[in-house]
Amino acid sequence: MTFLRWKQQGGVLIVAMVMLLIMSIIGLAGIEVTGLEEKMVFNMRDRQSAFEAAEAALKDGETYLSTTDTLPTFNGTNGLYTPKSDGTNHWDDWDALGSSVRTMRSQVSDANKKGFSQLAEYATYIIEELDSDTDSSDSDSIEAGKVVEERSYYRITARGVGITGSSEVILQTVYKQ
């Protein structure tokens, strides 16, 4: 028995330590991948929240246009604009609009903000009055002497910000009335 004790060199200990090192590296890599996936999911949720808020603001703008009998003047106040003539757009610099935007009514009037209470900012929108269309070829009827109704077009641009404030979604639609 004493003869075998002198022959042991500790090879199993070295093999066990190498295996433990390999297992630790694999575990750390797994933790890193999981952390990255968690960040990606949170960023997707943040952007989706901003997108949904912008969609809700578009709907709010359409509801405003369809329920308001007499629209106020589109003079750059209260979120009502006419398109710029210099080729730039109002929505290029949303911060420059300041308080002259329309805030989604449901967020302001409801205590629970319709599910948007987690967002970093209120969803806002602007409405631009576009040129009217009086083209008779677009009329539903070509009867002689029939009055062609003037159609009004409005561009609604909505901005939604996500939960962290780092994601922003801007959507547009054209509304015909």
CA distance between the termini of the chain = 101
What pLDDT score does 51 carry? Answer: 95
Parts of the chain with a pLDDT under 70: 1-8, 105-115, 133-149
What pLDDT score does 8 carry? Answer: 64
**Three state DSSP letters for the chain:** CHHHHHHCCCHHHHHHHHHHHHHHHHHHHHHHHHHHHHHHHHHHHHHHHHHHHHHHHHHHHHHHHHHCCCCCCCCCECCEECCCCCCCCHHHHHHHHCCCCEECHHHHHCCCHHHCCCCCCCCEEEEEECCCECCHHHCCCCCCCCCCCCECEEEEEEEEECCCCCCEEEEEEEEEC
Task: Give the chain's domain count.
Answer: 1
What pLDDT score does 112 carry? Answer: 53
What pLDDT score does 120 carry? Answer: 87
What pLDDT score does 106 carry? Answer: 61
Domain of 105 in residue numbering reads as 2-176
The answer to whether 158 and 125 have CB atoms below 8 angstroms apart is: yes
What pLDDT score does 102 carry? Answer: 87
